[in-house]
Structure formats: C-alpha cells, structure tokens
Structure 1
Amino acid sequence: MNSKNKNIRELYRGINDFKRGYEPRSNLMSEVQSAIAKLKRYKSLGSDQSPAETIQAVGEILRSKIHKLINSIWNTEKLPDQWKESIIVPVHKKGDKTDCSNYRGISLLSTSCKILSNIVLSILSSYI
C-alpha cells in the first residue's frame, strides 16, 4: 500500500472515530452564551449590520432568540441564506496601490454567523 492510500485510510478512520464519539447536542445555551462573549468588539459590520457589542450588551430575551435560532439551524442543518453572504473588502498589503495583486480580501460575515462558527469551533476543538 502506498503512502497516499495509507494517509487517506487514516483520515477516514479519524472520521469514524469522531462519529462514534459524537453526541448530538440538545441544548446549546451554554455554547451560545460563550460564543457571544467571545465576539470581538468594535469590528467592521457584516451583512446583518449587527455590532458585536450590541449583542453582548442586550439582555436575556435576545440571547434566548439567538439560542432558538441556533438550535433550529443545528437540528435542521440549514443556514439562513443571509448567513451565506459576506462583504469582501480589499485591504492593501504593500507596494503600488494601483496593482490588484497588492491587495487581499477580507470577508465580513454576519455577527450571527460568527456566533454559530464559534459554537462549531468549540465543539470540534473538544475532539482534537
């Protein structure tokens, strides 16, 4: 067996181990609260135009609504279409500003999508 096939088999073995050790989450409230707390403040707004500091400052009612939304997404495995969009902003690296290759793109995601991403990262990190 060549090394490429061996590496692929090891990857699949890791996926199967993950499936065996994974337990579906029925309540993500603690993960939602942790993800909201981890949001970086005073960053550029994404397509939802919701500042992280506003979401962090509001009370339990909004957190509860975000929790319901995240649970729904988690159970249905379907993202809202707006969460699939991002605003791409060109950022100059160095050199001639008229040369397009001297720019890199930054994607501005919706704050709600960042919350879900933090939750997924937190859960996956526990398996690594």
Structure 2
Amino acid sequence: MARVKKHKVDFGGGRVLALPYRLLVHPAFDNLSPKAIAVLIKLGRNYNGRNNGDLSCTTSTMAKGKGMDAKTLASALAELIEAGLIVRTRENQKGGREHGRARCALYAITWAAIDDCPGKDLEVRPGPPTFKFI
C-alpha cells in the first residue's frame, strides 16, 4: 500500500508561487527594493505553471490591493530586468495593427522555463530557466 505524502504546509489546493530558497538568498533578490519585490510577487501570481512568458504587468493588473502608479511600476520592472529575475518576452506595441488595439508588454520569471505561448508573438524562444544561482 502506497503511503500518502503529507505536506507540512497546507496550500489550500490552489496554485502556488514557488520562490526557491536559493533565489531568496541570492544577492540579486537580496538587493531589490520593496517596490520591486511587490511587483515580482504580483507578476508571479499570474503564473500557472504553463504560461511563463505570457505574464502581463500593467497598472490595472497591479491595482489589486495597494495600487501603483506607472512611473513606479516602470522603475520596478527595470530593476527586476537588471537583476535578471524577469525577462521581457514581448515589447509593448502602442497603436497595434491588429484590430486597432495596443498590446501590452509580456514578461517571464527567469528561474522557471519559458513556455510556448501560441498566438502571443513572443520575441523570446521557449527554453530552460536562465537565472544563474550561485
């Protein structure tokens, strides 16, 4: 008879954003500002295990809970990209040709593999994680 593995933490059966311990003690994470950590977690809550590369980060998606203005969001995203914790997978396109709508930029977390996201026109190919742990 197989033994059922019991976890020490009950996640409630929902999705879980895994932040590896090696990431949490890495200097790239340790040196982040509080606003960048907040954006990273809010960006990561959209990750479902199959959509890395298709994570949007707009002022409206960040408005849940404590809001964030566009300048603060832009500087936090730039800080996360510079730290190597996220990568932009599609540039934003203002005045896009498709149906006359603009398209937002998309991102991926770098400690997980980038997924194939059909129809999203990603500029980064699907592939293995790119974050370098020490």
Q: TM-score, normalised by structure 1?
A: 0.31
Q: TM-score, normalised by structure 2?
A: 0.30
Q: More relative contact order in 1 or in 2 (CA 8 Å, sep 6+)?
A: 1
